[in-house]
Structure 1
Amino acid sequence: MSTATETRRFEAEVAQVLHLVTHSLYSHKEIFLRELVSNASDACDKLRFESIAHPEWIADDGELRIEISVDREARTLSVSDTGIGMSRDEIVANLGTIASSGTRRYLEALSAEKKADANLIGQFGVGFYSTFVVADRVSVTSRRAGETTGVRWESDGQGEYTLADVEVARRGTTVTLHLKPDENEFLQAWTLRSLVARYSDHIAFPIRMPKEADSAPTDEWETVNSASALWTRPKADLSDEDYQGFYKTLSHDFGDALAWTHNRVEGNQNFTSLLYVPAKAPFDFGNGRDERKGLKLYIRRVFIMDASEQLLPAYLRFVRGVVDSDDLPLNVSREILQQNRQVERIRGACVKRVLDLLDRVARDETDKYATFWGAFGNVLKEGIAEDAGNRERIAKLLRFASTASEGTTPSVSLDDYVGRMQAGQDVIWYITADSHAAAKGSPQLEALRSRGVEVLLMSDRIDEWMAGYLTEYAGKKLRHVAKGDIELDAADAERHKASEEAASGLVERLKDTLGERVRDVKVSKRLTDSPSCLVLDEYDMALHLRRVLKQTGHDMPDSAPVLEINPAHALLKRFEGEHDAARAEDLALLLLEQAQVAEGAQLDDPAAFVQRLNRVLLG
């Protein structure tokens, strides 16, 4: 017997999602069925795990299954499961709110495009709401395992929903869609069967539908999916379509996976892994690590938990897939996982499989790897610092722009660079900057460029931090062109020494004029065309990274730079011959300020810089 009905309003963001979903044109509106079946499968997985501790919860009905049925007269489509079910509070939490950090970006994406792309659904925890694309009213009836009463949730998607306690004959959840007038196709059994085959064939629980006789449903049910865990089947029996179909069910991604690796390990420890690399990052994928649900841990086909933190390091958090162990105890907890040696071995094997897979794609499918790098390259770079044991392998997978490559797309590997090194060159040169243009146009590259030496151009924020750990590759040292001293051959060293001696007076005058604004002034080995540049000591932090850290609230000690000059440049000649003290100071400050601008720095007093520049131009 139902009780009094309570009416509530959706949270603001849910209301926005519903408005956009119901007023947008989906290119694949049938995606709602995949989402409902996937949710039902999750509910069955949860009950299978919980029943280990509470066997009485499945005593009356031990079969975990999903059922799809239609009532053509009432124009309803129902998806039921015998899973864990939901309590009243869980229904409110799951259907009245959206607990996704990416919801705001989801809303912005829909608003900007005016069209809801199917690959957005599922990535923001909003898959259930796709039902309102085809239904003008949706009801959810659920009874949680272990409880005696159920609850009914109902809404027309217009901003409110109702709740009522009801008597429910069995545990689990039933979602009923009251279809819109023009959605007759979803009342046809053959349509639903084909959608199950396309999107949900590899769900590990039986999906059943009523058998039909003379185009009418009967009381007899039949299973319409393969109902077996795909990862347990031999690879020889699986097609690419099988793997891609399972990936979409697993990840809620409408697009195909970029690549995958399927392995069975037997011996002292037995486990199966099926790991996928997505082709693109979801909208809510960032560098934050508060939500990592890429891998699902199964034990003897029983779902245990989302265990990405234990099974893969953070720099591989983009990987999706399953790991199924034969040896771990069914009552394993996150705390036990963190201290379990078997899990450490599984983790090591998963890391190796992923790196092997990426290495193969990078070697054999360069276009695919370029797609991967654009989506996840900066995440992979974190592994240089976090995984010292695999540092060389990860470094082999890195891609950079360079002075020898076309455009801004990173396409140069460290092996490519080493293969092109000049005779006698024993250093891999690189530069970090705020942008590709700033790196490519840096005056510090001039001497190396004039000698035909390739330089890697790094312009992502993570690069300076990463380079602090990547100090060597293939026996070659990595050196920042703007840090420390540059070695010259004997002839160039002799010419440089003569230039230093000739410019000693100029250097001293610049030091006196600039005072504490600089730590030192030197004749440059780097410059051939520009008048000046800033350099750092070997282990100093790059200036652009100092600025980023300072902008994010970190306390950075004041540090004056070293100014290197090109005595042959006309501006230095002009400074050297300037007798007016005020104009000489203007010239000295401009030499420093233009070096700062070339580094991407924001000048302390831009107005004074403009005035100085005008005085020099007009003087």
Structure 2
Amino acid sequence: MSKKHTFQTEINQLLDLMIHSLYSNKEIFLRELISNASDALDKLNYLTLTDERLKDMKFEPYIELSFDEKKKTLIIEDNGIGMNEEELISNLGTIAKSGTKSFLSSLSGDKKKDSALIGQFGVGFYSVFMVSDKVIVQSKKAGEDKAYAWMSDGKGEYEISVCKRETQGTQITIYLKDEDSSFASRWEIENIVKKYSEHIPFPIYLNYTDTKFEGEGDNKKEIKEEKKEQINTAKAIWKMNKNELKDEDYKEFYKSFAHDNTEPMKWIHTKTEGTLEYSTLFFIPQVAPFDLYRVDYKSGVKLYVKRVFITDDDKELLPQYLRFIRGVIDSEDLPLNVSREILQQNKILVNIRAASVKKILGEIENIAKDKEAYEKFYVQFGKVLKEGLYSDYENKEKILNLLRFATSKGEQNISLKEYKEKMPKDQKSIYYMIGQNLELLKAAPVLEKYHQKGYEVLLMADEVDGFVIPSVNEYDKIPLKEASASETLKELGEEMIAPEIQKSFENLIAVFKEALGDEVKDIILSVSLTSPVALVGDEQNAMMANLMRQMGQEPPAQKKTMELSSNHPILQKLKDTQDKELLIDTAYLLYASAKLLESGSVENAKEFSNLLNKTILKTL
């Protein structure tokens, strides 16, 4: 007896898109199903070596494809781990871990681009509904007795019933739409497998009927022979020698492995022999993975031991700041039954990880030699690289060399090395400013002090900057200093204020202090400002502020010193004004405008607006 179920709302949305919109590259459905079958074989392969209940199982892994041109059907079968009833529901009927919500929110409306996202978001199974009227999945989980059939036409519901299946694994029967019947063809299937699944590390067999003719004339006979032929090399590409492989082999393996229709930007293939024996194959994608900035991001690296899949869910295989990397680590020295806890402290893996990080950073350094190529890389991955400054002390200098910054002189992608080479001889430090966006930073009045000296200031507006940059004390023996900090400004050697000028501003400063009270630390005169006012002072410790917020506490506001330009016409007129109310209102307006330039907002917008209107009216 079958039970009817309704797809989750998000799955319904996804299916509707698959069936009606994402038509640009239908053949990827077969790539996705073969990739899922390979994962199922990987998982069972591991269990037959580590699970006592399954150690006696005879495991000869295969993926088998069959088709019927007349019936317009295509069958994909594997003898992998299989699914029970509960797993059929969670994997094929609900959102589970598929990332469907992220997929839906990432759609652009461009059919070609959107269809390329299907595999990356773990929703590849549903692509089968682009080409089918009906799909039946029959599956039996390894070590269990019952088999179950899952059936759906992709129109909102699916049914699950008990079925018969002798061996563990999964069989998917696809009833093709009339316009997609070409997929029930030997040549079409072979071409797709060669294109996308050549390096799946398990044999893929194709069952087909070979028709031959014998004799001549009236004696000519049609002879049909059922054949089964392996149509992929089934070699683990990462175990092969580089000279056996072409660029195309790497590119197509990546597309299948990473479920990505775009070619990788670069790849790093290493085979190491000696004290440790291991192979690694890493890819740098062209486009950032959808979950790059999510806490629950999925690791893109699979761990194998002697070609046996161990895990694809260990975020410790590479440091977090390299989470955009896709690839494989295959060790000859680890035990097969290594546990998650042991993995995190295993010396072999620690050494492999350290060597892998150096290789990857080395390849990124190579990309950086081509300015245009590196700009494309940096747009995608620059922000996460910065995280390494805080977490990877050993490679801190390498990471610093890979970072790029905008500057107060209009540079967009300058390195610290380039900045240092351009520094005037009298400049003592590398100066930087951290803010909410580049436009606000460029407009910061305090930069005027640096322009007058001919000094360039690095402008940093990524969210991560406030957390990691203060932890960088120096670059190549030159200190890094926050440009608006009081101690840094002393380094510029501000020209002394003449006593008579200081005296002429005493009343104005007193009124401003009365007006602003505890809002500011102090109010002082400046001769180097060309803007009327600037806020200067030490930046809040971003790491401490972040920790306080994580504990549910709002960090205390940092008071800054307000500098008044002794040369600006506004201040020159204000110092001779006797209207105290106007002075108090103007003090607040100037302070609020400085805050506006600093953060893009004022705390009390209504009060600011009322005061502005009042002052304008009074002036008129």
Say yes or no: TM over 0.5.
yes
Query: What does residue 396 of structure 1 align with?
Result: 401
- TM-score, length-scaled by structure 2: 0.92
Query: What does residue 568 of structure 2 align with?
Result: 569
Query: What does residue 557 of structure 1 align with?
Result: 556
Could you tell me how far apart the structure 2 residues matched to 1:293 and 1:562 are? 46
Post-superposition CA distance 1:109-129 (Å, at most 9, x none): 447446673321112221000
Please say if residues 304 and 311 of structure 2, whose CA atoms lie closer than 8 Å, have aligned partners that are also in contact: yes
Please say if residues 24 and 111 of structure 2, whose CA atoms lie closer than 8 Å, have aligned partners that are also in contact: no
Post-superposition CA distance 1:291-337 (Å, at most 9, x none): 33211000000000015422111111111100000000000011011
Query: What does residue 607 of structure 1 align with?
Result: 606
Q: How has the CA–CA distance of structure 1 residues 25 and 225 changed in structure 2, closer, same or farther, with 3 Å as cutoff? A: same
> In the alignment, does 2:314 pair up with 1:317?
no
Q: How has the CA–CA distance of structure 1 residues 488 and 36 changed in structure 2, closer, same or farther, with 3 Å as cutoff? A: closer
Q: Per-residue deviation at 1:388?
A: 1.4
Query: What does residue 442 of structure 1 align with?
Result: 444
Q: How has the CA–CA distance of structure 1 residues 511 and 56 changed in structure 2, closer, same or farther, with 3 Å as cutoff? A: closer
Q: Per-residue deviation at 1:495?
A: 5.9
Could you tell me how far apart the structure 2 residues matched to 1:116 and 1:569 are? 54
- TM-score, length-scaled by structure 1: 0.92
Query: What does residue 338 of structure 1 align with?
Result: 344
Could you tell me how far apart the structure 1 residues matched to 2:339 and 2:134 are? 40
How do 1:66-465 residues align onto structure 2 when only pairs under 5 Å count? 66-100=63-97, 102-110=99-107, 112-113=109-110, 117-210=114-207, 212-214=209-211, 218-283=225-290, 285-363=291-369, 365-406=370-411, 410-465=412-467
Q: CA RMSD in A?
A: 2.6
Please say if residues 67 and 208 of structure 2, whose CA atoms lie closer than 8 Å, have aligned partners that are also in contact: no
What code does the residue aligned with 2:384 have? V
Query: What does residue 597 of structure 1 align with?
Result: 596
Post-superposition CA distance 1:243-301 (Å, at most 9, x none): 11111111111111111111112211111111111111133x23233233211000000
Q: How has the CA–CA distance of structure 1 residues 34 and 519 changed in structure 2, closer, same or farther, with 3 Å as cutoff? A: same
Deviates more, 1:190-199 or 1:90-99: 90-99
Please say if residues 22 and 115 of structure 2, whose CA atoms lie closer than 8 Å, have aligned partners that are also in contact: no
What code does the residue aligned with 2:226 have? D
Please say if residues 79 and 176 of structure 1, whose CA atoms lie closer than 8 Å, have aligned partners that are also in contact: yes
Query: What does residue 5 of structure 2 align with?
Result: 8
- Could you say what secondary structure the match of 1:324 adopts? strand
Could you tell me how far apart the structure 2 residues matched to 1:324 and 1:346 are? 10
What code does the residue aligned with 1:446 have? E
Q: How has the CA–CA distance of structure 1 residues 328 and 489 changed in structure 2, closer, same or farther, with 3 Å as cutoff? A: closer
Post-superposition CA distance 1:525-547 (Å, at most 9, x none): 6x43101011122x53479x979
Deviates more, 1:285-294 or 1:266-275: 285-294
Please say if residues 511 and 584 of structure 2, whose CA atoms lie closer than 8 Å, have aligned partners that are also in contact: no
Q: How has the CA–CA distance of structure 1 residues 289 and 512 changed in structure 2, closer, same or farther, with 3 Å as cutoff? A: closer
Could you tell me how far apart the structure 1 residues matched to 2:267 and 2:409 are? 33
Deviates more, 1:225-234 or 1:168-177: 168-177
Deviates more, 1:605-614 or 1:578-587: 605-614
1:519 to 521, 536, 553: 521
Q: How has the CA–CA distance of structure 1 residues 217 and 577 changed in structure 2, closer, same or farther, with 3 Å as cutoff? A: farther
Post-superposition CA distance 1:507-557 (Å, at most 9, x none): 3443234322221112236x43101011122x53479x9799979964122
Post-superposition CA distance 1:139-165 (Å, at most 9, x none): 101111112221111100001111111
Could you tell me how far apart the structure 1 residues matched to 2:278 and 2:546 are? 48
What code does the residue aligned with 1:591 have? L
What code does the residue aligned with 1:338 have? Q
How do 1:24-103 residues align onto structure 2 when only pairs under 5 Å count? 24-54=21-51, 57=54, 61-100=58-97, 102-103=99-100
Post-superposition CA distance 1:343-401 (Å, at most 9, x none): 111111111111111111112x3222211211111111111111112111111111111
Q: How has the CA–CA distance of structure 1 residues 206 and 393 changed in structure 2, closer, same or farther, with 3 Å as cutoff? A: same
- Could you say what secondary structure the match of 1:136 adopts? strand
Q: Per-residue deviation at 1:467?
A: 1.2
> In the alignment, does 2:609 pair up with 1:586?
no
> In the alignment, does 2:471 pair up with 1:469?
yes
- Could you say what secondary structure the match of 2:137 adopts? strand
- Could you say what secondary structure the match of 2:495 adopts? helix
Could you tell me how far apart the structure 2 residues matched to 1:300 and 1:253 are? 26
- Could you say what secondary structure the match of 1:309 adopts? coil
Q: Per-residue deviation at 1:211?
A: 5.1
Q: How has the CA–CA distance of structure 1 residues 546 and 563 changed in structure 2, closer, same or farther, with 3 Å as cutoff? A: farther
Please say if residues 103 and 118 of structure 2, whose CA atoms lie closer than 8 Å, have aligned partners that are also in contact: no
Please say if residues 289 and 314 of structure 1, whose CA atoms lie closer than 8 Å, have aligned partners that are also in contact: no
Could you tell me how far apart the structure 2 residues matched to 1:591 and 1:547 are? 30
What code does the residue aligned with 2:535 have? L
Could you tell me how far apart the structure 2 residues matched to 1:164 and 1:217 are? 36
Could you tell me how far apart the structure 2 residues matched to 1:30 and 1:449 are? 58
Deviates more, 1:180-189 or 1:317-326: 180-189
Q: Per-residue deviation at 1:339?
A: 1.7
Q: How has the CA–CA distance of structure 1 residues 496 and 380 changed in structure 2, closer, same or farther, with 3 Å as cutoff? A: farther
**Unaligned segments of structure 1, at least 5 residues:** none
Q: Per-residue deviation at 1:604?
A: 3.2
Q: Per-residue deviation at 1:171?
A: 1.5
Please say if residues 50 and 336 of structure 2, whose CA atoms lie closer than 8 Å, have aligned partners that are also in contact: no
Q: Per-residue deviation at 1:458?
A: 0.9
Could you tell me how far apart the structure 1 residues matched to 2:394 and 2:446 are? 33
Q: Per-residue deviation at 1:494?
A: 4.5
Q: How has the CA–CA distance of structure 1 residues 432 and 54 changed in structure 2, closer, same or farther, with 3 Å as cutoff? A: closer
Could you tell me how far apart the structure 1 residues matched to 2:500 and 2:287 are? 56
Query: What does residue 510 of structure 1 align with?
Result: 512
What code does the residue aligned with 1:533 have? A
Q: How has the CA–CA distance of structure 1 residues 254 and 115 changed in structure 2, closer, same or farther, with 3 Å as cutoff? A: closer
Query: What does residue 217 of structure 2 align with?
Result: none
**Unaligned segments of structure 2, at least 5 residues:** 213-222
Could you tell me how far apart the structure 2 residues matched to 1:414 and 1:441 are? 22
Percent identical residues: 39
Q: Per-residue deviation at 1:501?
A: 6.5
Could you tell me how far apart the structure 1 residues matched to 2:338 and 2:419 are? 47
What code does the residue aligned with 1:385 have? Y
Could you tell me how far apart the structure 2 residues matched to 1:56 and 1:220 are? 35
Post-superposition CA distance 1:174-221 (Å, at most 9, x none): 111000011121011011101100000000001111255228974331
Could you tell me how far apart the structure 1 residues matched to 2:112 and 2:250 are? 29
Please say if residues 472 and 478 of structure 1, whose CA atoms lie closer than 8 Å, have aligned partners that are also in contact: yes
Q: How has the CA–CA distance of structure 1 residues 451 and 157 changed in structure 2, closer, same or farther, with 3 Å as cutoff? A: same
Please say if residues 138 and 154 of structure 1, whose CA atoms lie closer than 8 Å, have aligned partners that are also in contact: yes
What code does the residue aligned with 1:270 have? E
Query: What does residue 530 of structure 1 align with?
Result: 531
- Could you say what secondary structure the match of 2:105 adopts? helix
Could you tell me how far apart the structure 2 residues matched to 1:590 and 1:550 are? 30
Please say if residues 520 and 562 of structure 2, whose CA atoms lie closer than 8 Å, have aligned partners that are also in contact: yes
